[in-house]
Structure 1
Amino acid sequence: MKLLSRLKKLIEKECVQEPCVLLKHTSNAENHPPHWLDEAPVVGGFDGGEEKKKKKSFWRWPALSFPRKATKYNLAKAENKHQAEAGSYRTFSEAPASKVHPVAAEEQLEQDVLGKCHIRSHYKIGSKLGQGGFGFVYEGTRCKDELKVAVKFSVKSPNTPYIRVPGHPKSIPMEIGLTLMANKIPRAPEIIKILDWEDNEDHFIMVMERPMPCMNLKSFVKLHGESLDEGTARNIMRQVIEAANVCVKRGVFHRDIKMENLLVNQDTMEVKLIDFGCGAQMKRFGYDVFSGTKAYCPPEVTVNGKYHAKPTTVWSLGILLFMMACGYYPTEYDLDLISKRSWTRPGLSQECCQMISSCLQSDPQQRIDLEKMHMHDWFKSALHLVG
């Protein structure tokens, strides 16, 4: 317990990303440590969970100011891609005993914790891929077959949410549960695969596939000059839309679809959605606490104080497409023209501009349906070009 406490303080001390903020219609904000390896998401204590004391803060749409920090998350270096069946899942009511080393280096502290976990007996832990407010991610290798994996270690907070998942007798941490739900058979190749996990008293560990080679979409776009050609953007969007629809059909609301949470294989152009840490189970009557990243937050969160999964996902996909195609976040002027459906941009096809406008309508009821996005003329026009 003491070792985990020291490690938690170390993570919070070293993290230089902006803190997360609670967004509610009441205009209250709660500060949390930032989410791992991302531009800091907004975390609202999760709907139905206990909330802490709040500081007053007001956030208006669309005059927004957002951080634009380079992400650290890059899983790849260069190896063949592997496929494997889902691994065993274990739950432990107590954390293994840990010995505190008063003068241990920061890396040694982390290794001490990982060295005591049961996952360590099945995986070789390698170099650290990145670190964030809730923990850190290491590259790893599965002992039985040398499969390359990513090992995510998360320190629990007093309000870490738990859910019940079919096939598991006990409640498990929300992030693990949602990832398992999204990984149901038949598996969607557009969603990161969870191979193994472990739940301890004060931390949990997830083992996921590590595609080779790959980088997150933000790094990929930057590598291509801050924006992508329309054909590449269309290929990526088609896969992200499929991932979003699979999640919704399986009762999972990701809530944080953004460039940093999408991995791109530069060789095959395969895309994978990662990180369900801000997610929630699907709810019929919507949500009143926003958990995600401010730049992708829809206007109804502050205008109406309530939002629903599908229209919110469509909005975030619209922001994603805009940033891929244009190379910048939409300005207030852009959003005003989009709301009037009169927005265009030189170099983009009419169908692409219409696709963006259909996603970024300020009225959620005026947005395109998530299930119909793949049938938009923008995707049909690509088929005509191929023919």
Structure 2
Amino acid sequence: MATEFYQNVVADFSGLEVQPPANPPDILSRYQFGRILGKGGFGIVYEGKRLEDGLEVAVKIARKPRKMQYISIPGHPAPLPLEVALLILVNNREPKVTQIVQLLDWQDELDYYIMVLERPLPCTDLRNFISLFRETLSEFGARLVMWQVTHAANACSASGVLHRDIKLENILINPQTLETKLIDFGCGDLLKKSAYNYFSGTREYRPPEFKTKGRYHGTPATVWSLGVLLFRIVFGHFPGPSELRVINSGTWNQPGLSHECRLLIQCLLQLDPSRRIGLEEILSHSWFQPLSP
């Protein structure tokens, strides 16, 4: 069964020159597989069920790029695929950060690495969820979602991880409880103090300093992406250049939006990264006070 499944994976990556291993991957024999949940340029995610206890999971089969990056992390004698290592780093925090998807199992292969991830039910991604509400959420709903996503972003930073692709499609949400989980660390990297000179996330969330200077720092870029996400959730579209200019002018006013929400958006979407609010300060902003314990 595992060999047949692996061959189906190869077929799903149509046109790619990959070969199944001589022996079926052990990890695949421990799960029952279902439909494709998502598919991108470097990976496919399947629904699955762990055979030993029936646990519902997601199985990601990721094709290795030509210059596959491996890194060493504490507790693991051999270097690990970058995405696997980043998830282990954020999952090892105590107490567990429930707003970040948990890595349950993984295996490295010649052409692929395989990750078994938790799959909360019911869930959909935030992009599909807000499409049910004419592309926007109420300010109450936006506050609840953003608090969780910001908490996840802070946990990543504290773990030395840069997610670099926080966006609607990478946030799972329970439509009944609005509980969220940050997923897909495939564009991520280790967080460093020096600047990055390449960007591998989603263009709409790219920090403006990368366009103007060709470089950016990880934490201010994360803050910018949270600002774009919040703007997209409450307005139903991404902020355009003219809107950003008004937001940065200090004269921005938006009827129907609370003063506190407008202030937070202004703090997040500063074109000058040195003027953005600190990532660790966001959850203390007045807009989140109704959610404070």
Same topology, TM > 0.5: yes
Aligned pairs, how many? Answer: 286
How many angstroms apart in 2 are the aligned matches of 1:153 and 1:132? 11
- Give a deviation string over 1:298-332, Cα, whole Å, max 9, x none: 11112122211110000000000000001111122
Pick aligned residue for 1:348 from 251, 257, 263: 257
Change (3 A) 1:383 1:146: closer
Q: Which moved more, 1:117-126 or 1:329-338?
A: 117-126
Check if 1:97 corresponds to 2:22.
yes
Q: What's the counterpart of residue 79 of structure 2?
A: 171
How many angstroms apart in 1 are the aligned matches of 2:173 and 2:243? 28
Higher helix share: 2
Amino acid at match of 1:208: L
SS at match of 2:264: helix
Q: What's the counterpart of residue 119 of structure 1?
A: 27
How many angstroms apart in 2 are the aligned matches of 1:328 and 1:153? 32
How many angstroms apart in 2 are the aligned matches of 1:169 and 1:129? 33
CA contact (8 A) 1:8 1:155 kept: no
How many angstroms apart in 2 are the aligned matches of 1:378 and 1:282? 27
User: How many percent identity over aligned positions?
Assistant: 46
Q: What's the counterpart of residue 357 of structure 1?
A: 266
1:261-340 → structure 2 map (5 Å cutoff): 261-340=170-249
CA contact (8 A) 2:10 2:20 kept: no
1:1-387 → structure 2 map (5 Å cutoff): 11=13, 96-97=21-22, 116-186=24-94, 187-380=96-289, 382=290
How many angstroms apart in 1 are the aligned matches of 2:102 and 2:8? 31
CA contact (8 A) 2:207 2:225 kept: yes
Which runs of 5 or more structure 2 residues have no equivalent in the other structure? none
How many angstroms apart in 2 are the aligned matches of 1:119 and 1:350? 52
SS at match of 2:13: helix
Amino acid at match of 1:175: E
How many angstroms apart in 1 are the aligned matches of 2:13 and 2:28? 21
Q: Runs of 4+ in structure 1 displaced over 4 angstroms?
A: 3-10
How many angstroms apart in 1 are the aligned matches of 2:7 and 2:122? 35
How many angstroms apart in 2 are the aligned matches of 1:355 and 1:96? 51
CA contact (8 A) 1:138 1:150 kept: yes
CA contact (8 A) 1:322 1:328 kept: yes
The root-mean-square deviation of aligned C-alpha atoms, in Å, is: 2.3
Change (3 A) 1:156 1:143: same
- Give a deviation string over 1:33-53, Cα, whole Å, max 9, x none: xxxxxxxxxxxxxxxxxxxxx
How many angstroms apart in 2 are the aligned matches of 1:119 and 1:150? 13
Query: TM-score when scaled to structure 1?
Result: 0.70
Amino acid at match of 1:226: E
Q: Compute the displacement of 1:348 (Å).
A: 0.6
Change (3 A) 1:336 1:13: farther
CA contact (8 A) 1:4 1:202 kept: no
Amino acid at match of 2:55: L
SS at match of 1:233: helix
How many angstroms apart in 1 are the aligned matches of 2:162 and 2:123? 25
Which runs of 5 or more structure 1 residues have no equivalent in the other structure? 15-93, 99-115
- Give a deviation string over 1:17-38, Cα, whole Å, max 9, x none: xxxxxxxxxxxxxxxxxxxxxx
CA contact (8 A) 2:6 2:20 kept: no
SS at match of 2:265: helix
Q: Compute the displacement of 1:9 (Å).
A: 8.2
Amino acid at match of 2:272: D
Query: TM-score when scaled to structure 2?
Result: 0.92
How many angstroms apart in 2 are the aligned matches of 1:135 and 1:168? 24
Q: Which has the higher contact order (CA 8 A, sep 6+)?
A: 1
